[in-house]
Amino acid sequence: VTGKDEYYLGLRTPLCMMEQDVWLVPCLDGEPRLRKPPLVYWLTRASLEAWGPSLAGSRLVAVLFGALLVLGVTLVAEELSGDAGLGLRAGLVALSCLGLAIGGRLLELDVPVAAFSTLALLALLRWYRRDQTGYLLLGAVLLAAGFLTKGPVVLVVWGAGGAALL
C-alpha cells in the first residue's frame, strides 16, 4: 500500500530517527540522511510520536499538506477574482485532481512543496494588494519552510506563479 520512494525513504527515515532517538539530523539505516532537507521528516516524526508508529500516523502529515494545498488554491483564486464562489470552485477542482488524490496521501515531498509555494504566492498577492508587511514576512517564512522541505526547487515552483502574476 506504499509507493517505492515513500517506503524506502519517507516512511523509514522518521522511524529510524525514533529508533536512534535523534531529532535534528534525519537518518536512514543508521546513517545520516542529508540528501533531502529535513522538515517533512521532523513533522512526520512528531506525528509518529503523537499517534504511534503507524502508516496512518505517517500519512497524516501528507494528508494535511494536501488539505493546505487545496486551501491555498481556493484562497489564491478568491484573491485574484474577488469571488468566494469562484475560489470554492477552484478548490474543488484542485481537490478532484487525480495527482493530488494519489500524491496527497503519500509521504513524499512534492505536495508539501506545492502547498508552501501556493501559500507563499497568496502571501505575496495579499502583500501587493493590501500593502501590509506582515504578509511579506509570512511569505518569506513559507518559502523558508518550502526550502526546508525540498531545497531550491520551491523557488522555481513559487517563481512560476510570481512570473505569471507579472
Q: What is the mean pLDDT of the chain?
A: 90
Percent of residues, the chain, with pLDDT higher than 90: 60
pLDDT tens digits, one per residue of 7-47: 667 788 898 999 999 899 998 888 888 888 899 999 999 99
> Residue range 102-118: average pLDDT?
88
Residues in CB range of 90: below 8 A, 6 or more apart: 73, 74, 76, 77, 78
Judge whether residue 4 has pLDDT over 70: no
What span, in angstroms and rounded, lies between the C-alpha atoms of 125 and 110?
22
Which amino acid makes up residue 154?
V
What span, in angstroms and rounded, lies between the C-alpha atoms of 147 and 4?
24
pLDDT for residue 55: 86
The pTM of this model reads 0.89
pLDDT for residue 3: 64
CB atoms within 10 A of CB 147: 17
> Residue range 141-158: average pLDDT?
93
pLDDT tens digits, one per residue of 85-105: 999 999 999 999 988 888 788
Across 1-5, 36-40, 82-86, 150-154, which has the greatest mean pLDDT? Answer: 82-86
Which grid coordinates belong to 9? 525513504
- Name beta bridge partners: 27: 32
Cα-based distances in Å from 33 to 14, 60, 99, 153? 11, 22, 27, 18
Closest alpha carbon to 113 in 72, 157, 166, 82: 157
pLDDT for residue 2: 63
Q: Is 36 left (phi over 0), alpha (psi -120 to 50) or beta?
A: beta
